[in-house]
A and B are shown apart, each in its own frame.
Chain A
Amino acid sequence: MALPTEAPRPGGVIHDIGYRPYTGPRLDTDAAARSLFVTGLLNAYGIGRSGRAKGLPMTLLALMVVPAAIMVAVMVTLRLTEPLLNYGTYPVTLMLIIVIFVAAQAPVLFSRDLRSGAISLYLARPLSSTAYALVRWASLFVAILLFIALPVIVLYVGALTAEADIAEQSRDFFAAVVGIVLLSAVLATLSGLVASHTRRRGLAVGVTIIALLVSTGVVTAVQAITAEAGNETAGLLAGLFSPFSLVDGVQVELLGGQSSFQVPPDTTGWGLLYLAVSLALVAGGLWLLVRYYRKQAGR
């Protein structure tokens, strides 16, 4: 092993240091997982890679928050005591923007490493493939959560500033937040599965957007038709087939929120079914993801 050489000379010191072995602390896999989580979360908003990546997510975030900010401004100016927008229905109103964000950023966390082959380098490190998949999911989950929750928080803070009834607003707000957490989990799972299996970013974006919008569109159409025909059960069953209607259903029945869909569940039984399906979707999706990444180790 080479050793440091060279006595100090007048005018400057030149060291040929050679290779120095590392004798410092080595952290455990939890630290690596935390580092991966934070990097993933930042990457989901375009921070930390090439500059152009920030444009889309930040624009979308602005599009989410601006309407809420405007509403708050209107509330305060006109001294209203009831917010104009409902916390629970805000996400469904801005569904298109949420869907674009989810579709566009899931590939950043799931397709990129698979496409470039960097996954081999990750899996050759102490972090297991299971941990890798779960941490990536967690980054996407938190990214989506912040994306949807931020405008709702703005609305809430604005309502408090405008001196609306704190108890009532807080109750509605926390109910909505629980719904948003569930929605983020479902969206992260679905988009993560699509992105890791398609790998090509364009296709992943397209398929995710199509799947989310078409499913919601179909649910709305079926609910409209069956409502007219008086067949409520069919409408309720249909509501299980889109993440937005699914979470909306949980929120309405179990948390007392307001529904954006035509046929929300109206009994606890249905509400619990909606909740069970949501959780099963997340659990099942995670299991599939972990299984997929474990297979990648051998490539």
Chain B
Amino acid sequence: MGIIDTQGLTKRYGQVTALEGLDLSIGEGVTGLVGANGAGKSTLIKILLGLIAATQGTAQVLGHDIRAEGQRIRSVVGYMPEHDCLPPDVRAIDFVVHMARMSGLPPTAARERAADVLRHVGLAEERYRLMGGYSTGMKQRAKLAQALAHDPQLVFLDEPTNGLDPAARDDMLALVSKIGRDFGISVLVTSHLLGELERVSDHVVVLDGGHLLRSSATTEFTSDTGLLLIEVLGEGDAQTAMGERLAAQGIPCRPRGPLIEINAPGRTDLHDLVRDTAVDVGVGLVRLAADHRRIEDVFREEAGHGAAH
């Protein structure tokens, strides 16, 4: 029995289907929930939390049934919503303490843990300021802090990197990783940025239009394709020159954007060959890397319709 299990979970709003027959099994560690906007990620989280009722199907979180033991689930789970949820006229420390108490912590413990958790998310000095004056990055951290304050066994992070600049985004992803690995708390993190979750999650669940597209370990998504990608730089059309010379040597290759894709899995001397060819042609070899899949390939392969968003 995993952390989250669903059987045939369905949610319909009149004519609109948010989730359709979802069968999931999510284990410990960091799991990424990926899908376009409107794919059903937030709906799934709200159903698991017991905030909305599913139309059909069953689910269990940490072994507790969502319909019968909703209260039990909510006492051991943390939630970081996607939307704004911080009152602007309260200080972060006061708010997190209050929320910890609402989750069942005694007053003294709540105060200690609140200060601790705010330090862990990086709001140690700013915790005495009113949250109305926080930047987006700080607000996201504060939201995360209230989700962790009561030491949950599982946290739902709904689009934690929303609205963050690239540097802050990296920080947040590192934090998410730390929660999953160092704190020992299971994490279900959603995003509509497909590549982002590759870095952080152990397991990825892909939703599309309310359906489960795929659910497997990240490594399977990003496994090697057996292809070699090279990038060359030089005068004139370096890419074509290089490609033609490689082809002349009997190596199947073709251009992919500015790169050259080589499909010769069997040859053990491939790297040396590439290096020597580059020298012969007189171009600089910038990159030589094993190609691996990306999550968006899932949309193209299995959905069969349109490109990823």
Contacts and interface: CB of A to CB of B under 8 A. Distances in A.
Is there any pair of Cβ atoms, one from A and one from B, under 8 angstroms apart in the complex? yes
B216 interface: no
Interface in A218-272: none
B102 interface: yes
Contacts of A29: 71, 104
Interface stretch (A73-81, A113-121, A167-175): A113-121
A273 B269 CA distance: 98
B106 A116 contact: no
Contacts of B151: 21-22
B225 interface: no
A50 B89 contact: yes
Contacts of B150: 22, 26
Given A22-B151, A35-B101, A120-B85, A126 B75 contact: yes
Contacts of A1: 182-184
A125 interface: yes
A32 B102 contact: yes
B75 A120 contact: no
Contact of B52 (A32, A116, A297): A297
B106 A125 contact: no
B290 to A, nearest CB: 33
Given A121-B146, A126-B74, A297-B51, A24 B109 contact: yes
Given A126-B74, A126-B75, A27 B184 contact: no
B251 interface: no
A31 interface: yes
Nearest to B83: A117
Given A126-B71, A127-B102, A118 B87 contact: yes
B186 interface: no
A31 B90 contact: no
Contacts of B46: 297-298
Given A27-B104, A126-B104, A128-B71, A118 B86 contact: yes
Contacts of A11: none
B113 A121 contact: no
Nearest to A112: B87
A128 to B, nearest CB: 7
A116 B98 CA distance: 16
A26 B150 CA distance: 9
B104 A31 contact: yes
A202 B213 CA distance: 48
A28 interface: yes
A14 interface: no
Interface of A is mostly: loop
Contact of B106 (A27, A118, A126): A27
A168 to B, nearest CB: 45
Contacts of A122: 102
A124 B104 contact: no
Interface in A262-298: 297-298
A184 B99 CA distance: 28
Contacts of A20: 116
A13 interface: no
A181 B150 CA distance: 37
Interface string B25-49: 0000000000000000000001001
A12 interface: no
A35 to B, nearest CB: 5
B164 interface: no
Interface in A25-60: 25-29, 31-32, 35-36, 39, 48-50, 53
29 contacts: A1-B183, A2-B182, A18-B182, A19-B182, A21-B184, A24-B106, A25-B109, A26-B75, A26-B104, A27-B104, A29-B71, A29-B104, A36-B102, A50-B89, A53-B89, A116-B85, A116-B88, A117-B81, A117-B84, A120-B51, A122-B102, A124-B49, A125-B74, A126-B71, A126-B103, A126-B104, A128-B71, A297-B51, A298-B46
Given A120-B79, A126-B103, 18 more contacts: A2-B182, A21-B183, A22-B109, A25-B106, A26-B75, A26-B150, A35-B101, A50-B130, A116-B85, A116-B87, A120-B85, A121-B146, A124-B51, A125-B74, A125-B102, A126-B74, A126-B75, A126-B104
The 10 closest A-B pairs by CB, nearest first: A22-B151, A117-B85, A124-B79, A298-B52, A116-B87, A126-B75, A297-B51, A19-B183, A26-B104, A35-B101
